[in-house]
Structure 1
Amino acid sequence: MAQDGSTRSSLDKTGPIEHVEAATLADSILERYALLREESTEELAQLNNSVLKKLDWKFLPCITAMLLMNYLDRINVSNARLAGMQEDCGNMSDIPANVIIAKGKPRILLPICMLAWSAVTICMVAMKSAWAFMLCRFLVEFTEGPFLPAVSLMTSSWYTKQESPLRMAIWHAGNIISNVFSGLLAAGILTNMDNVAGLHSWQWFILIEGIVSIMVAGIGFWLIPNWPSNTATYYFTPEESEMAAYRAAVSAGGRSEDDEGGYWDGVAQACKDPFTWMFAAMHFSLIIAQSFKDFLPSIVDTFGFSEVGTYLIQAPPYVVAYIVTLLISWSSGRMLEHSFHIIGSILLCLVGAILMISTLNVGARYFAVFLLCSGPFVGLNIQISWETTVVPRPRTKRAALIAIANCVSSVSHWFTPYFFLRSQEPRYQTGGGVIIAGCGLVIVSCLVTRWWAMRKNKALERQQEASGVVNEWRFAT
């Protein structure tokens, strides 16, 4: 408290510190940082803005570009399939890595992961058989696997609970916008470069994406920081480094960002926490609801447009999905509410799936694509923000929770492709039914997780009443 009895800083009410944090807690945390504790309110606000500006203009654009290439490499086969890749090929662990990154240097490890999957992607040009395709896709997924969980972990470390949903929505654009670029690139490359230099058009499509990925990975070595407690002066001034660490500590209710225990301690803690399995179920259900994504080119192909038109009309639904994701994620962060934001968005997807399987009208089916694209992408973005908010520390536990949820959700890829059968074109009734089931499971898992968070908040309130120690930090719902 200041000498006049007011709080030391108004930041905990209106700026970088969440309004849910007690002012006395923020002040006590501030005393840990020698370069900050004598600063005025205005100087602290300037430092906060400086940290946020560097993160928003260096870290955020870089990981957005990296995730754009990440998802392009994942979905390139869906458009390449339409250009003959399937015929040319004969018709054919996440958790330790994320924990290692949590204790390591993301500035080095993330670009290396990207270089690895880019190299494998380029090798796909030489595929001649189904076995070669399966081997390449396995290696691509193996090297890409740690990337999304690691970026989620880093975002939750650098940004506060109110800032995180919108920032995650921005880099999550890599997922959404990749589908826009994939369709546009497919229209330009797959229809114009067949037999250029003796390569099929799908080979050029994959080769160009792989080369661009390598270029983006090189930039990552310069624009990605490590963690708030150990990023050197190449990124921040000493005062900005302390402000970054201070922001992280207050956002976590006073607990340090520094890890507790060894590599596997956080994994053990995450496995024992019910939140881990609730969010794993939610993530699993969201990916099922999103299972149409890899088959969207084939779905749109049934609309009867030309080859170029089929590629181009895939872009507008994802552009709309991106705008909707930004708006709803901004609302979620501002209100610090996640559950009903996810439920509201996933209901859009449910309506889209019902339309897809119930009518053959092209206009209605194209409108259904807009609904399908908007719902799961919004829900997935807010779900990732929610899970990183309720488990603030230690970092290895948060890393393990993200990775476990991501691993569990990946199981859906083992069976969902078998539900989009060419024999069921154009309705894809089984695939649509699976999407509807996924939407229902998302709603149930959201309500259960919200109930559990509210129950834990009531326990915190009872503890506060019994001890007399004020701690206004609460689990987000």
Structure 2
Amino acid sequence: MTTISTSAARQRTAEIHPSDEVRSVYAKVTRRIIPFLFICYVFAYLDRVNIGFAALQMKHDLGFSDAVYGLGAGIFFIGYFLFEVPSNLLLEKIGARKTMMRIMVVWGVISASFAFITSPTQFYVARFFLGAFEAGFFPGIVLYLTYWYPPAMRGKIITLFMSAIAVSGIIGGPLSGWIMTNLSDTSGLHGWQWLFIIEAVPSVILGVLVLFVLADKPADASWLSVREQELVAREVGATDTHGHDHSFLKTLRDPRLYALSVVYFTIAAGLYIISFWLPEMVRSYHVTNPLHIGILTMIPYLITTVGMVVVGRHSDKTRERRWHVALGMIVAAMGLVAVTFVHSSLPVALTVLSITTLGVLTAMPLFWTIPTSYLSSSGAAGGIAVINSIGLIGGFASPSMLGLVKTTTGSLDYGLYTFAAALVLGAVLLLAAMPQHLLREEIGG
């Protein structure tokens, strides 16, 4: 018994304090795949939410109401919901490279086509197909990272990858504002039309590059030696044995899967309030120039970029996930309520919106360390996709509801109160449904 305990203790120590060789190999893996995936996600998110900037001109040019805009923004997630699980299951069969190439090239083409819509129906159809073809990108990347990184490293890695959302806001705001201000009426196209065309091109190029940059799994990575491939496989494989024995069908019968989906619904609803309505919120403070709006919307994302990295590292250091996610959700909820009381001061509003953005965007990446720790490898592909697809209905609910509320009342306030309450309830559900002992962390797991 003593020998077994000593052996287990040594193994636990090795997991907590990886060898220089392990650190060296993972530094090499991270340099190879994370910057590229980061850039891909920057443009994925930009193509998804640049409708928020385009709406500053497009609604007027096409005669769209706030309700039409909100519904169209949200319909993206209906297509996403319907096609996400099949996409992730296909990724397991044909590999990440082919899946990501297909997704990125097609969504780039569809995103560019938004420049030529003329009616609400065309707008709804285009947003639906954009969601359908982008489905599988984010959960596919989360699944892909589980092939390379053990649970203890995923907090930092997923946070680093998902900080692309904040960087997309930093880049996208000024870029979108500049395009709409300076290219308006160039070659007979409005500024918002050029916005869709120009910001779609990088996605197509990056989609082709996926085939040359990524390897499907460590065993396929020609840029790793055989020894390095075996070391990565060992690090990941050592944690798979501690997971719950869930096939995809068993995973679908697990009530915690749906609890996590509801939690993610509330996080996604909060995120897409910021993503789709932040430019409109800034304009409500009598800022009319699209470039100035773009620069001002950059501020919350700048602050959030730093905060995401700091909070992610703290979560990895303490091996604690649940409270980091829950507190981020509660902070975001408080911010959504607070912003309804600062209608007369843009500087105060930007401060509150920065805190709100920081809360929701620190919660989102750390949330994904929970299902990837709870699910075994056999249930992860479908389980991750189910959580993301159900959860992203929140991405449909919040923009469409806020559009309807604003059209009806002239204000976003009642919608903000609703989703603030949802975030608080989601935080409570997370803490209740996922006790710490169910998570496969190197400490206490």
Normalization by structure 2: what TM-score? 0.87
* 1:406 maps to which of 378, 388, 403: 388
**Does 1:289 find its partner at 2:270?**
yes
* 1:75 maps to which of 45, 49, 62: 49
Partner Cα distance (1:350, 1:288) in 2: 11
Judging changes above 3 Å, is the alpha-carbon distance between structure 1 residues 472 and 364 closer, same or farther for their aligned structure 2 residues? closer
Q: Read off the aligned partner of 1:376 and give its amino acid letter.
A: V
Runs of 4+ in 1 over 4 A off after TM superposition: 5-12, 89-92, 423-427, 471-476
* 1:151 maps to which of 134, 141, 146: 141
Equivalent pairs, count: 421
Which has more helix, going by share of residues? 2
Shift of 1:253: 3.5
Q: Deviations over 1:168-201 (max 9, x none)?
A: 1111022221122221112211111001111111
Partner Cα distance (1:6, 1:403) in 2: 39
Kept after mapping to 2: 8 A contact 1:342/1:379: yes
| SS of equivalent residue, structure 2 residue 118 | coil
**Does 1:13 find its partner at 2:13?**
yes
Shift of 1:53: 2.0
Partner Cα distance (1:301, 1:124) in 2: 23
**Matches of residues 226-305 of structure 1 in structure 2 within 5 Å?**
226-228=216-218, 230-232=219-221, 234-253=222-241, 266-293=247-274, 294-305=276-287
User: Max radius of gyration: which structure?
Assistant: 1
Shift of 1:70: 0.7
Which has the higher relative contact order, 1 or 2, with Cα contacts under 8 A spaced 6 or more apart?
A: 2
**What corresponds to 1:107 in structure 2?**
97
Partner Cα distance (1:413, 1:105) in 2: 27
Judging changes above 3 Å, is the alpha-carbon distance between structure 1 residues 373 and 315 closer, same or farther for their aligned structure 2 residues? same
* 1:49 maps to which of 10, 19, 23: 23
Partner Cα distance (2:354, 2:8) in 1: 49
Q: Read off the aligned partner of 2:322 and give its amino acid letter.
A: S
Unmatched runs of 5 consecutive residues or more in structure 1: 20-43, 458-470
Partner Cα distance (1:422, 1:156) in 2: 41
Shift of 1:235: 3.0
Unmatched runs of 5 consecutive residues or more in structure 2: 69-82
Partner Cα distance (2:272, 2:336) in 1: 11
Kept after mapping to 1: 8 A contact 2:269/2:392: no
Q: Deviations over 1:84-132 (max 9, x none)?
A: 2563376542112111212331022112210110111122222222222
Cα root mean square deviation, aligned: 2.8
Partner Cα distance (1:56, 1:472) in 2: 20
* 1:368 maps to which of 334, 338, 352: 352
**Does 1:177 find its partner at 2:177?**
no
Q: Deviations over 1:213-240 (max 9, x none)?
A: 1122222222222123x424x2321111
Normalization by structure 1: what TM-score? 0.81
Shift of 1:321: 1.0
Kept after mapping to 2: 8 A contact 1:351/1:368: no
Partner Cα distance (2:6, 2:320) in 1: 29
* 2:303 maps to which of 312, 320, 325: 320
**Does 1:164 find its partner at 2:154?**
yes
Q: Read off the aligned partner of 1:191 and give its amino acid letter.
A: T
Identity of aligned residues (%): 17
Shift of 1:298: 0.5
